[in-house]
Amino acid sequence: MLIIIILLVFSIAFLFQAAFLPMGTLKNIGPGLYPTILSIVMIILLLVQFLREIKFPSMPKLTVTRYQLIFIILLGLFILFLENAGYLVVGAVFCFLFSMVLGWQLKQAHNDESSLKIYLVLPLVAAVLITGVDYILFEIAFDFHLP
């Protein structure tokens, strides 16, 4: 139930943000149409799920592992530093650290893997590839200039 309420709050906030964008016409769709429709559909579905939860409550156990907590902190730092440091720097550091945390989990499951490969090589490769592809995709394909 709590997750539904949180998602509902974010969807309503998203709708308010989208309301300031021009909607356009059916022939010339504006940038506000898709986010507005998406948020309205999300709100409707969340309200249906909310009513369903009231009628048939299902209370799953909410637990947060240390890895999930680290991911949440990394995402918050990514958002915090994005504007000041720029996408290439923040994206590369985020991907590298995110891959290292995934490596911690991988190392627990597969002790025979090389620590250097799991903690350094694979995270560096992932960081460079993901950040580079994202940057090229946004700059060239979408003509959207990242900070």
Q: What is the pLDDT of residues 56-71, one digit of tens each?
A: 777 656 566 777 787 7
Q: What integer pLDDT is reported at residue 46 of this predicted model?
A: 92
71 and 127 assigned to the same domain: yes
The answer to whether 32 and 21 have CB atoms below 8 angstroms apart is yes
Query: How sure is the predictor about 47, in pLDDT bands with cuts at 50, 70 and 90?
Result: very high
Q: How many domains does the chain have?
A: 2
Determine how many CB atoms are found less than 10 A away from the CB of residue 33: 16
Q: How far apart are CA 113 and CA 90, in angstroms?
A: 28
Host domain of residue 28? 2-55
State yes or no: pLDDT of 13 exceeds 70: yes
75 and 38 assigned to the same domain: no
State yes or no: pLDDT of 107 exceeds 70: no
For the segment 121-145, the average pLDDT, to the nearest whole number, is: 83
Q: What integer pLDDT is reported at residue 138 of this predicted model?
A: 81
Q: What integer pLDDT is reported at residue 110 of this predicted model?
A: 64
128 and 101 assigned to the same domain: yes
Element spanning 100, H or E: helix 87-109
44 and 71 assigned to the same domain: no
11 and 40 assigned to the same domain: yes
60 part of a folded domain: no
85 and 121 assigned to the same domain: yes
Which of 15, 34, 55 represents a domain boundary (last residue)? 55
98 part of a folded domain: yes
For the segment 26-38, the average pLDDT, to the nearest whole number, is: 83
99 and 128 assigned to the same domain: yes
Q: What integer pLDDT is reported at residue 42 of this predicted model?
A: 93
Q: How far apart are CA 30 and CA 94, in angstroms?
A: 32
36 and 96 assigned to the same domain: no
pTM of the model: 0.49
Give the highest mean pLDDT range of 6-20, 53-67, 73-87. Answer: 6-20
